[in-house]
Structure 1
Amino acid sequence: MTDSLSANPDRLLPADPGTRQIARELYADVERFPILSPHGHVPAEWIADDVPFTDPTSLLISPDHYVTRLLHASGVPLSELGVGGSASDARAAWRRFADAWPIFDGTASGYWLREEFEHLFGLPGSMVDALGANADASYDAIAAKLAEPGFRPRRLFEDFNIEVLATTDDPLDTLEAHARIAKDESFAGRVVPTFRPDPYINIAHPEWAARVERISDEASDGVAGYAGYLRALENRRRYFVEHGAVSADHGVRTPLTLKLSASEAEALFEKGRRGEATAADRDAFEAHMMVEMARMSVEDGLVMTIHPGSFRNHHAPTFAAYGADTGHDIPFAVNYTEGVRALLQEYGTVKDFHLVLFTLDETVFSRELAPLAGFYPSVYIGAPWWFLDAPDAMLRFRSAVTETAGFSRSSGFIDDTRAFCSIPARHDTSRRIEASFLARLVAEHRITETRAHELIVDIVDGAPRRVFKL
């Protein structure tokens, strides 16, 4: 036995010795399975260009809003952490983080970081325990690791045992980096784009009109107006499919869907272009476009994922200074049952249409998502995501959805991360939690041990391949 938390083989497994032993055996089945990451935000250019990471802060701190938001709440200015491209001294920022390390105790990000520090960068557990006193030593040790020739994105991709990594991409992205990766015979991994059209369907987005004009100019085949806008979206989706995309992701504010006539939708579209759309108009148009996105998924086969329930850029001054994705997106309650009904009336029973519903509101897991997935063949329950991708929340998710929807109706784990080096720790966390949940069902004589071993393989490997058509 070791004093190092991250070296303890029983981390996250049940405390009861008998149940823990069952969980150990289940986890062993999938511990070394390849990583399937069908939703995330790592730039494809990192893999295509294989550029060395520059320093510990820009890799592990500045881009990770899980980390910077809690530091900010504790009084560390974002400007001192390099957030949003702000100029800062990397070593000084690391010292601020190291001094604040105790605030991450009990958090999921603290768990992932400790795993990275000890397993990936080789820091001793004693150094990690006293990170504040070892700020410079830990910075230097990680920086030395980053300078090693083998510590490049491609080598890490291989070392992490990643089989599939999905990126998140603008509809007008050239996908040039993806094309280079696909043509490179020296790289065995699979990096696939994801179609993310939010700024093109949300009239409230400040760049909506300009983006609509651009996509219409470039991809509408000369068709004008609303019809050309739809044609352009269809064409760009087809371009993504040709470049290996398997899904289209929608970060909408709410899961509202609405079926409008073509004339009604066109009227709202033109009001938006003239700058005359009301808030109600904007909501109605986006809700209608979600039904249109479902139609397109039925036609082109892209899995449709919905990620609602985040009040984006909650603090306007921070958004103005540092931009989006800087730690102040805050969850709120959603209504899925009524919200997605219009979409499901049209496409909920269409063969081969896959709709993965995620939530930041865990009250809907058992009340709405499990019953929806328990009836509609198209609906799958998205894994715990953002704020909920933590050990206890994962256990709550399994307990909430399984009694109604079983295991077959969930998506498999997604890491949803920009923090490339945290991917193995996040997937390992999920595998340990799944083993723990199944072990409890075995110990309570609710499923057989043989069946539990079959289930964990399907949860970890079969589900993401099946749901995301991998």
Structure 2
Amino acid sequence: MTIDERLHPDRLFPAEERTRAVARELHELVAEKPIVSPHGHVDPRLLLDDLAYTDPATLLVSSDHYVTRLLHAAGVPLTELLGDVDPRTVWRLFCEHWHLFHGTASGFWLRETLGTVLGQRGAPTADTYDELVDVLASPRLRPRALFESFAIDVLATTDDPLDDLAVHDALRADPTFPGRVIPTFRPDAYLDPALSGWSDRVDQLGARDYDGYLAKLRERREYFIEHGAVSADFGVVQPAALELDRGAATALFERARSGRLDGGEAETFRAHMLFESARMSVDDGLVMTVHAGVRRNHHTETTARFGPDTGHDIPVDTSFTDNVRPLMERFGTAEGFHLVLFAVDESVWSRELAPLAGFYPSVYIGAPWWFLDAPDSIARFRAATTETAGFYRGSGFIDDTRAFLSVAARHAMSRRIDSAYLARLVVEGRISLAEATRVATDLVGSIPRQAFKL
């Protein structure tokens, strides 16, 4: 039975009435502001082709590893959720396990998306499948129409360094699509010699030696800049940076090319290339974003059978202070250098990231992401970082998602939580309402634009 459970108008606001009233006032100022999404993983072809979504199971379940991971944890085999499976069966399994998502971030996004985008009330049921198929066929739910209705001002994608960016070119040249969609340079697979196929990718770059390797990376970065990119993104387990002299770096590069590099040497080379990437950002102006602290593809069998990004990337302890010091010593005060540091490890927010951003003009604190882009975690993040670094040393909210339909829901969540946090500061007499109003507005506009040079 479907429960008539409308979205609460004060969701995520404080329970105490006086503070809730201020949160309402602040949220009203920003609720309809344009969305700035400077880091995410939406496929730009979605907007180029502008095809209607076909079924709710593929859209909301199979393509979202936040959803499939919890279903798998409850005993639903991934073979029943991914690949060549009946979408009706997937939807039924999802509905039967809806209770698993109560209190989770993914549950909030799903409920928000179902309610505000798809017009559904209450818990999803197997009986609503055909209704949702009809809803998804509506022209208002085509990707371009959603881009407009979500009021997305700019959307950044994540792209391979050798991508020709033809899809971005086609979108930019299309007079019927006025939206701004920009690429992001993501070179991890070309920087880590421990990854399978690294040497082949270096060949594809056209690099014959270490100097040529650096030159080709710079060349591809410039290509991305010419096509609208503003940032380069790096996913690392630890944010270690190390400067090697040319001879040592060349020797490691050659050992890697011949397949003779051991684990410690690979780690050293990765750290050196993070340092060199910072040097490149100082030179060409691309914002450098570092997502650290995740052990990717934790379960080997699942990766082999279903591929990466299937819900088993697991956080690890992370350390920034000493790891990034060589990079900060050289580039931390370099004019125009922007370094956005992201961490899944909550313990570093107040201990390391806020102090780093509170001194170095180059450092910005990346908003919570992955397992931590949840209401309570965002509130903890705000409290942990603001007292040391303030609001203006942050990146603004980062949705970091492939699930295009949930982009608006994720930003809505962030705006409600920030309104609640600011309201508490106002009621406690720590800032004025006028000051809170400015911060609330800047958090969704000038702050991400400043951090990402938009």
Match of 1:393 among 372, 377, 393: 377
* d(CA) in 1 for partners of 2:161, 2:19: 48
Q: CA deviation at 1:145?
A: 1.4
The partner residue of 1:458 within 442, 446, 449 is 442
For the Cα contact (< 8 Å) 1:5–1:11, is it kept in 2?
no
CA distance in structure 1 between the partners assigned to 2:216 and 2:54 by the alignment: 38
Give the C-alpha shift of residue 119 in structure 1: 1.3
Are the aligned partners of 1:37 and 1:166 in contact in 2 as well (CA < 8 Å)?
yes
Which residue identity lines up with residue 368 of structure 1 in the other structure?
A: E
Runs of at least 5 residues in structure 1 that lack an aligned partner in the other structure: none
Written as runs of structure 1 = structure 2, the 5 A alignment for 1:201-240 is: 201-216=191-206, 224-240=208-224
1:159 to 143, 149, 157: 149
Any idea what SS the aligned residue of 1:272 has?
helix
Could you say which residue in structure 2 is the equivalent of 1:179?
Answer: 169
Match of 1:314 in 2: 298
Q: Decide whether the 8 Å contact of 1:69 with 1:326 is kept in 2.
A: yes
Distance 1:7 1:104 in 2: 16
Q: List 4+ stretches of structure 1 deviating above 2 A.
A: 3-7
**Range moving further from structure 2, 5-14 or 251-260:** 5-14
**Does the alignment pair 1:43 with 2:43?**
yes
Residue range with higher mean Cα deviation, 170-179 or 142-151: 142-151
Tell me if structure 1 keeps the 8 A contact 2:41–2:157. Answer: yes
**Deviation of residue 54 (structure 1)?**
2.2
User: Over the residues paired in the alignment, what is the CA RMSD in angstroms?
Assistant: 1.1
Cα distance in structure 1, aligned partners of 2:189 and 2:258: 17
Match of 1:250 among 219, 225, 234: 234
TM-score by length of 2: 0.98
Whole-angstrom CA distance in 2 between matches of 1:6 and 1:405: 38
Give the structure 2 partner of residue 425 of structure 1: 409
SS in 1 for 2:346: coil
Q: Which residue of 1 aligns with 2:128?
A: 138
Total equivalences in the alignment: 452
Following the alignment from structure 1 to structure 2, what is the Cα–Cα distance between the partners of residues 395 and 448? 20
Within the alignment, does 1:120 sit opposite 2:117 as a pair?
yes
1:78-124 Cα deviation digits (max 9, x unpaired):
11112xxx211111111111101001000010011011111111112
CA distance in 1: counterparts of 2:336 and 2:128, whole angstroms: 50
The separation in 2 between residues aligned to 1:232 and 1:139, in whole angstroms, is 50
Residue 406 of structure 1: how far off its partner (Å)? 0.8
Give 2:246's match in structure 1, choosing from 262, 279, 284.
262
Structure 1 Cα separation of the partners of residues 348 and 6 of structure 2: 33
| 2:15 alignment counterpart | 15
For 1:283, the equivalent position in structure 2 comes to: 267
Structure 2 residue corresponding to 1:88, chosen from 85, 94, 114: 85
Instruction: Pick closer, same or farther for the CA change 1:399–1:4 going to 2, 3 Å.
Output: farther
Q: Does the aligned pair in 2 maintain the 1:196–1:250 contact within 8 Å?
A: yes
TM-score normalised to structure 1 length: 0.95
* 2:323 alignment partner, one of 313, 318, 339: 339
- 1:226-277 Cα distance to aligned partner (Å, 9 max, x none): 1111111001000000110010000112101101111111111111111110
Give the counterpart of 2:348 among 349, 353, 364.
Answer: 364
Describe the SS at the equivalent of 2:154. Answer: strand
- Is 2:436 the counterpart of 1:468? no
SS across alignment from 2:36: strand
Report the CA distance shift for 1:307/1:98 in structure 2 as closer, same or farther (over 3 A): same
Whole-Å separation in 1 of the counterparts to 2:59 and 2:223: 31
C-alpha contact 1:123 1:141 (8 A) present in aligned 2: no
Task: Return the alpha-carbon distance in structure 2 between the equivalents of residues 142 and 341 of structure 1.
Answer: 52
Cross-structure match for 2:34:
34
User: Structure 2: any 5+ residue segments left out of the alignment?
Assistant: none
Report deviation, 1:445.
0.5
1:321 and 1:456, CA in 2 relative to 1: closer, same or farther beyond 3 A? same
Higher mean C-alpha deviation, range 142-151 or range 200-209:
142-151
